[in-house]
A and B are shown apart, each in its own frame.
Chain A
Amino acid sequence: MTSLSRRSLLQGVGVLLASTALPAFSFAQALPTGGRLVVAADSEPRNLNPAIVASNGVFFVASKVIEPLAEADFEAEGGLVPRLAIAWEGSDDGLSATFKLRQGVTWHDGQPFTAADVAFSALEVWKPLQNLGRIVFANLESVDTPDDYTAVFNFSKPTPFQLLRNALPVVTSVLPRHLYEGTNIAENPANTQLVGTGPFRFAEYKPGEYYRLARNETYWGEGLPHLDEIIYRVLPDRAAAAGALEAEEIQLAAFSAVPLADLARIAQVPGIEVISRGYEGLTYQLVVEINHRRQELSNLEVRRAIAHAIDKQYVVDTIFLGYATAATGIVPHNAPEFYNPEVPQYEFDIAKANALLDAAGYPRGDNGIRFSLKLLPAPYFNETRQFGDYLRQALAEIGIDAQLVNNDSAAHQKAVYTDHDFDLAVAPPVFRGDPAISTTILIRSGTPAGVSFSNQGGYESAELDSLIDRAAETVDTEERTQLYNELQVRAGEQLPLINVAEWGFITVARDTVLNVGNNPRWAVSNWADTAVQQ
């Protein structure tokens, strides 16, 4: 069932793919070995430990060194291929999950990898310390290790195996117990000098210059990795990445390091390919967050009017230059397992929006303005800022005067998620494969102030809350999916927030780099099969 939907997912993104040359597909035997891959890195995370900070910026470097139990895959059954686990199974009551682990794996320092490492990581790191693990493993009670290669997770309350499975690539980076046990985990030097089981060893880090990863000669994967080393050159300036690619100083720039507006031009440069494949598991959603404490916005008709005023197609075509899809609801197209297209839609219709506002009791004043709002676009992406500019104009069309407030990241997060000092905000949340670790936190009430990227708009609906709570404890996959389907419909009716578009990132690479984008989380996967033609 899942593999089927993965395939339909592939068709879904076919339009995007059509615009790009497919990466050169070669068989493993034919791939060249050796060589160095130089890629652009736009940030230098302070804590590089993916078991603690499960974010793309960290995974981009760390996923080559520290491996999860399983990785996402386009073709494999269930959408997952084994990494440190070779088999997994959940119990029918949702109270336990069993993982069979890979044998013969050694850590980069020579110690053997065993189930004790998994048990330690789960209980001491993922559950208490990790941003996402806190949710997924909230009810994890103990991990039994009947032998060195079996780990049995025991939960105090039913935990849906569907959620565990979907979260495996993101939340299960395994740490070496022998280096972390008995230390202050958050301050351990191995958080920056990583030690893992992955295809590459962490060799060197020069702040402001580069990270260097070197081939792990004792990697468990036969004949892998292909590369001798990977260099992450720190290039914080986006314009620099395109120039460096053309000058062949770097061979690959992931995560849209090359601005969208530059893609059409750089695609014409001989030897350079623009690749949109490989981000299907990392879908970003463009969302308008609403402060429901504001009296006008607590009115459903006003929220519907705002939804009608946004021309999603314009946003996709002009702001994302076609490298995005118009959103239909709170779950993106790229999550076919959950995506429900049958939700209320708000087509672009200015007249209707104006009529809704008139009927809601907010007539235009003498200056043509109904009321004023404070609009805070998130500063993380060019696109979120540009959408802020657009939204201000779109709201002006329906008589709402939106005053833009630009902040840096820290000030933006404080204003929106702690001080609630906003009326509308533009946010780019990530869909992480399962609504329970991506979508519900944006809707569920009761999150304390200060939790970034959560529902801080004061939206409260007993109906939606109960749907979310029921889904969180429903073990049966079908039943759980059904609950999320209903949640999508209810959220579409109530508009706790407005979903505008969904987008993945773009990789730009020299055509000498092979096997780019061959899994749904490619940029944050282990790159064991990536190769460079000499």
Chain B
Amino acid sequence: MSALARFRRSPEGVIGLALLTVLALAALLAPLLFPGDPLRIAGPPLLTPFTDPALPLGTDRLGRNVLAGLVHGARASLIVGLAAALVAVAIGSLVGTLAGFAGGLVDEALMRVVDAFQIVPGFLLALAFVSVLQPTLPVVVTAIALGAWTGPARLARAEVLSIRERDYVAAARIIGMHPLEIALREILPNALPPVLALSAVIVAGAILTEAALSFLGLGDPNIVTWGSMIAEGRAVLRSAPYLSIVPGIALVLTVIGTYLLGEGLAAMLSRRERQA
């Protein structure tokens, strides 16, 4: 069975892909659907959803369009989620591969660094990092990646440890390839699939971390994010709960979608074929 067929046979993957496609479309088309600043004041404050067709999800305390915020917020969430996961997977697999392949002292040293990062809760690390520097998008991405790269590093190292004993690695050594070349060209590509499957979880985690940071007022105040929308809505939770619920639902759907897609990817990448 081909990989694609395996993916299609996993309902999780298909649902996840559908959810994320909608999200990605919203993110891509945001400037067309809602041109201008989504934080612009668009109508009367605290308009309840489904009362004004021009403002289908109502407005927040300052009269800003909730739907516009939601769609533009999707961009921030996706950008942060993907960028953070990319950075985390890149750093993690690189460190993991080097550690696993080199072994010995290098391995010990690198893995103790990984330990050091794993001891500190990722969210606290991000919190400290963002509050020291200014909360701009690149800083937030780096902060989240800082806490997330250790997972891929450990996984990659474990994979490498098993791969480096394979025959083709031995063959590469014998023909005189540079060890670094072997690590990066022979081993890393083969160690990647399980790490990539893990990346879906990292994306989901990164989106949640970003939302939590924005909720605590440590996001970039000049862009709209779901976390900051929930935080804004919190002040009026009792009188206008939809302000927190709507972006909350978006967040839940995104994380579920990412997670399901990750499941589908894992099924697709698994070496053993699944029997239906």
Instruction: Give residues in A with beta carbon < 8 Å to B.
Output: 238-239, 242, 259, 261-262, 264-265, 318-319, 379, 382, 386, 388-390, 392-393, 396, 403-406, 408
Contacts and interface: CB of A to CB of B under 8 A. Distances in A.
A379 B39 CA distance: 19
Contacts of B63: 318
Interface string B209-221: 0000000011001
Contact of A404 (B40, B222, B234, B235): B222
B11 interface: no
Of residues A379, A389, A405, which shows the largest number of chain B Cβ atoms within 10 Å of its Cβ? A389
A239 B217 contact: no
A387 to B, nearest CB: 10
A406 B62 CA distance: 18
Given A261-B61, A318-B45, A404-B221, A239 B134 contact: no
Contact of B62 (A319, A405, A408): A319
Of residues A264, A318, A382, A388, which shows the largest number of chain B Cβ atoms within 10 Å of its Cβ? A318
Contacts of A406: 135, 217-218, 221
Interface in B207-242: 217-218, 221-222, 234-240
Interface string B232-259: 0011111110000000000000000000
Given A318-B45, A393-B39, A404-B222, A239 B234 contact: yes
Contact of B238 (A262, A386, A388): A262
Contacts, number: 53
A171 B217 CA distance: 36
Contacts of A396: 37, 40
A483 B87 CA distance: 63
B190 interface: no
Contact of B134 (A264, A319, A405): A405
Given A389-B39, A404-B221, A406-B221, A261 B236 contact: yes
A79 B39 CA distance: 46
Contacts of B40: 393, 396
B3 interface: no
B270 interface: no
B131 interface: yes
Contacts of B22: none
Given A390-B41, A405-B134, A262 B62 contact: no
Contacts of A404: 221-222
A158 B121 CA distance: 61
Interface string B31-59: 00000010111000100000000000000
B238 A265 contact: yes
A262 B236 contact: yes
Contact of B221 (A242, A261, A262, A405): A405
Nearest to B63: A318
Nearest to B218: A406
The 4 closest A-B pairs by CB, nearest first: A404-B221, A261-B236, A406-B221, A318-B45
B41 A393 contact: yes
26 contacts: A239-B237, A242-B238, A259-B236, A262-B235, A262-B236, A262-B239, A265-B238, A265-B239, A318-B62, A319-B61, A382-B235, A386-B61, A386-B62, A388-B221, A390-B41, A392-B39, A392-B222, A393-B40, A393-B41, A403-B222, A404-B221, A405-B221, A406-B135, A406-B217, A406-B218, A408-B131
Of residues B40, B41, B218, B236, which shows the largest number of chain A Cβ atoms within 10 Å of its Cβ? B41
B238 A390 contact: no
Nearest to B44: A318
B135 to A, nearest CB: 7
B238 A318 contact: no
A386 B60 CA distance: 11
A415 to B, nearest CB: 11
Contacts of B41: 390, 393
A61 B236 CA distance: 29
Nearest to A263: B239
A379 B61 CA distance: 18
A393 B154 CA distance: 47
Given A389-B221, A392-B222, A406-B217, 20 more contacts: A239-B237, A259-B235, A259-B236, A261-B236, A261-B240, A262-B238, A262-B239, A264-B239, A265-B239, A379-B217, A386-B62, A389-B39, A390-B41, A393-B37, A393-B39, A393-B40, A393-B41, A393-B62, A406-B135, A408-B131
Contacts of B240: 261
A408 B131 CA distance: 9
A319 B63 CA distance: 10
Nearest to A404: B221
A376 to B, nearest CB: 10
Contact of A390 (B62, B131, B135, B222): B62
B61 A318 contact: yes
A318 B46 CA distance: 9
Interface string B128-169: 000100110000000000000000000000000000000000
A482 to B, nearest CB: 41
Of residues B63, B236, B238, B240, which shows the largest number of chain A Cβ atoms within 10 Å of its Cβ? B238
Contacts of A264: 239
A261 B238 CA distance: 9
Contacts of A242: 238
A404 B224 CA distance: 12
Nearest to A388: B221
Interface string B60-95: 011100000000000000000000000000000000
A399 to B, nearest CB: 13
A369 to B, nearest CB: 12
Contacts of A262: 235-236, 238-239
A38 to B, nearest CB: 22
A2 B56 CA distance: 54
Nearest to A402: B222
Nearest to A396: B37
A242 B236 CA distance: 12
B40 to A, nearest CB: 6
B134 to A, nearest CB: 7
A511 B245 CA distance: 33
Contacts of B236: 259, 261-262
